[in-house]
Amino acid sequence: MKRAALYMRVSTVDQHPETQLHDLRQMAGQRGYEIVAEITDRISGVKARRPGLDQLRKEARRGRFDVLLVWASDRIARSVRHFLETIDELNRLGIEFVSFREQIDTGGPLGRAIVVIIGAIAELERNLIIERVRAGMRRARLEGRPIGRKPLDLDHIAILRDRQRDQSLGQLAKSYRVSRTTIHRVLREHATLEKSA
C-alpha cells in the first residue's frame, strides 16, 4: 500500500481547507493509499517560505511518503519555476505527484508533460492578472481617481470610551465593524500620544 501525504493551501485565514481535504481523502481512499500526513498552509501562493510546504519537503526527504496529493497544481507552487523544482525534487525522491482538479498523475511520462504545460499556463494567467491590475491603476492615476480603499472614518473617542468600559477588542471590532487589528492600532496610537504628551 502506498503512503500518501495530503497538502492543502488556502490564501487567507477566511478561506477553509476542508473542501480540499474532503476531496483528497476521498481520492486516497479510492486509490487504496494510506494517508500518513495532512499538511495545510494558510498563506498566499506567491510566498516563497511556507511552513507547511517546508515541512512537507522535509518529510519527503526522509522517505515518509510515496505519493503527494494536492487539490490543484497551483496550491503547491508560486511560479512555473518553483512548481517544476518541486516536481523535479519529488521525482528524484521517487515520489509521485497527483493533482485532484487537473487529474494529473506523474507516475507516467504523459502526466509529467501535462504538469509542465499546466504550470506554464498558470504562471501566464497570474502574470496577465497582475498586468491588468497595473494597467487599471495607471488609468486611475491619469484620471485623478484615488487608488486603494477609502480611509476608515472611526470615532476614536468613542472607541477609547468603550474600551475603558471594559469592552474586549472583539466586542469593539464587532460594534465598529472593523478588524481587531484596527481597534488595536487605534488604542496603540492613543497610548503613544499619551506618553509623548
Q: What is the pLDDT of residues 43-65, one digit of tens each?
A: 876 666 788 888 999 999 999 99
Cα distance between residue 17 and residue 8, in whole Å: 6
Cα distance between residue 137 and residue 156, in whole Å: 31
- How would CATH label the architecture of 3-122? 3-Layer(aba) Sandwich (3.40)
Q: What are the extents of the domains in the chain?
A: 3-122, 156-196
User: Is 114 in contact with 102 (CB distance < 8 Å)?
Assistant: yes
Please compute the mean of the pLDDT values over residues 1-17 and round it to a whole number: 84
User: Is 5 in contact with 37 (CB distance < 8 Å)?
Assistant: yes
Lowest mean pLDDT across 26-40, 137-151, 170-184: 137-151
User: Is 118 in contact with 73 (CB distance < 8 Å)?
Assistant: yes
- Mean residue pLDDT across the chain: 86
Of the pLDDT bands very low, low, confident and very high (cuts 50, 70, 90), residue 13 is: low
In the set 11, 168, 175, 196, the catalytic residue is: 11
168 among known catalytic residues: no
Cα distance between residue 1 and residue 157, in whole Å: 64
User: Is 53 in contact with 41 (CB distance < 8 Å)?
Assistant: yes
Q: What is the pLDDT of residue 45?
A: 63
Residue-level length of the chain: 197
Q: pTM (2 decimals)? A: 0.57
Q: What is the pLDDT of residue 3?
A: 96
User: Is 59 in contact with 5 (CB distance < 8 Å)?
Assistant: yes
